[in-house]
A and B are shown apart, each in its own frame.
Chain A
Amino acid sequence: MNKEKATVGHDPFEIEQREWKQRQSRERYKQLLTIASPIFILLLWEVLSRTGIMDIRFFPPPSAILGTFWKMIASGAIADHIGVSLYRIFLGFLAGVIPGVIIGLLMGLYSPIRHFVQPLVMALMPIPTLALLPIIIILFGIGDLSKVVTIAGSVFFPVVINTAAGVLNIDRIYLDVADNYGAGKLQFFFKIALPGALPVMLEGIQMGQAIALLTIVAAEMMGATSGIGYLIWTSYKAFLLKEMFVGLILISFFGYLFSLMLRGLQKKLLPWR
């Protein structure tokens, strides 16, 4: 390799620049693939559905779904469903994340608290919050509150577990540094524990966000009078499959959007990674 370069007598920077350009175009290619994949699936669906290979009654083509979506927006029927679902997701998400972070930090920082709370978390986590929905509805009614509580209950667990793990996985040497340089309790918390735990904690919050969307749909299918889940369920029962798909695609869209937003937040909060 080296010999070749020497005999040809190229500028080494020229060679490196060429390689850098190649890397750049490879990166662009990968980005293109990422954008292309959902478009490809939608096109395939459209074709299969239009040619009748897939049953058009069960799988209406995306263009028809889009048309239905448009009509629903125009009639104003869908805005309320979206609004009410987002409102529930947002509140439920916060109501799960905030105590999850606080209890997780306490568990990570104080081992007696960890030993006391951990068995409860481990025992309660496997119970699907949705299985508790009947009780939740009895306790909190069929309004927004029961949905918020259901989502909060599902979001709480991944957040609390990841937050505690985030604190516990901070490299010992940073604790020694803090100790050696005389960090007080508050300083230790803000300079070491919180920033050190943040990466794993944010992974938990990302997971919680996905679970919030999974939960809202199911929660709105039972004992609700509005929301995207309600839309999906009633459309299905009336065999309005285009409307049902609108609901499904909305959920998928919001899931993707929230993921992107959280990734952006992660980049902002963790410039040191």
Chain B
Amino acid sequence: MEKKAKIEINNLTKAFYKKQSSVTALDDISLSIEEGEFVCIVGPSGCGKTTLLRILAGLEQPSIGDFEIRSVQEGRPLQSMVFQERGVIPWLTVKENVAFGLKMRKLPKNVIQERTDYYLKKTGLDRFAHLYPKELSGGMKQRVSIARAFANDPEILLMDEPFAALDEQNKFILQEELLSIWSETKKTVLFITHSIDEALLLSDRILLMSAQPGKIIQQVKIDTPRPRTIEDIRKDPILAEQFVDIWNHLQDEVQQSRKENR
């Protein structure tokens, strides 16, 4: 029996029209992602990976093509997004931020309370529940963003470089925490990053994207058993090889676009 894909993207193309220069951000992208899979999209900046995520998040419309997120449980939102660091709403307390999606969906009060408390505890934010985001560090803010998305209990999670603004140590800690929550909920995750290390640490599968037009040029399966640590990634010869492989691919891409821009 063939398993049905969780996310199915069919011939998706997105162009941005401007009078001076029109850009094809995404060019005929077809993709399917399995239930429970953790997929990272890696690509140089400006390759349209954020655009792809925004389309899946319903924040932008594709020019051509379509996509489907398969729903297995009624009443569940299709997707929730973990935004970059500024995505935490400053005039809501930590708790109100985490409860945001649930409140918007007008769930019963006790359900909101219970789920919010669970994820506050899970992310170690319970002590900060009544603070405003201005009093939190960057890492803590991102925990709020992650807790908000998981508390919303969506079919899939979309993450837009959530750790890009963090320092290395914090990044490792949050990556580990993310993996621990993820392994508990087994959500399907589509994660965008420009860090190869991050992709190797997190993903079941890495998709490499090229820039302008944005295409998926290669897929890499990461079979290294979990839980992985950053040390594993440095030591494991297979992963090391994969790192170099991806690195070279991206390097080619960047060089190419530099030449074209000259």
Contacts and interface: CB of A to CB of B under 8 A. Distances in A.
Given A180-B59, A180-B81, A182-B105, A272 B90 contact: yes
Main secondary structure of the interface of A (DSSP, over half): helix
Given A272-B132, A273-B134, A181 B100 contact: yes
Contacts of B104: 178, 181-184, 187, 191
Contact of B91 (A173, A176, A181, A196): A196
A181 B89 contact: no
Contact of A181 (B93, B134, B152): B152
B92 A173 contact: no
B87 interface: yes
Contacts of A184: 104
B58 interface: yes
A173 B77 contact: no
Interface residues of B, number: 26
Nearest to A171: B86
Given A180-B58, A181-B101, A181-B152, A271 B86 contact: no
B67 interface: no
A177 interface: yes
B134 A177 contact: no
B222 interface: no
A179 B134 CA distance: 23
B187 to A, nearest CB: 16
A272 B97 CA distance: 13
A241 B57 CA distance: 70
B83 interface: yes
B193 interface: no
A181 B80 contact: yes
B149 to A, nearest CB: 9
Interface string B92-133: 110000001101110000000000000000000000000011
Contact of A179 (B58, B103, B132): B58
Contacts of B83: 173, 176-177, 180
A138 B232 CA distance: 86
A192 interface: yes
A176 B59 contact: yes
A270 B92 CA distance: 11
Nearest to B152: A181
Nearest to A188: B104
A171 B59 CA distance: 15
A182 B107 CA distance: 13
Contacts of B134: 272-273
Contacts of A198: 91
Contacts of A196: 91
Nearest to A174: B89
A192 B97 CA distance: 12
A195 interface: yes
A192 B89 contact: yes
B92 A271 contact: no
Most-contacted residue by chain A among B58, B79, B90, B132 (CB, 10 A): B90
A181 B153 CA distance: 11
Contacts of B103: 187, 191
A196 B87 CA distance: 13
A31 B92 CA distance: 32
Interface in A258-273: 270-273
Nearest to B132: A272
Contacts of B148: 181
Nearest to B88: A177
Interface in A172-227: 173-174, 176-184, 187, 191-192, 195-196, 198
13 contacts: A171-B86, A177-B81, A177-B83, A177-B87, A180-B83, A181-B77, A181-B101, A181-B152, A182-B105, A187-B103, A198-B91, A271-B132, A272-B93
Given A171-B86, A180-B83, A272-B92, 7 more contacts: A176-B87, A177-B100, A180-B58, A187-B104, A191-B100, A198-B91, A272-B93
Interface of A: 171, 173-174, 176-184, 187, 191-192, 195-196, 198, 270-273
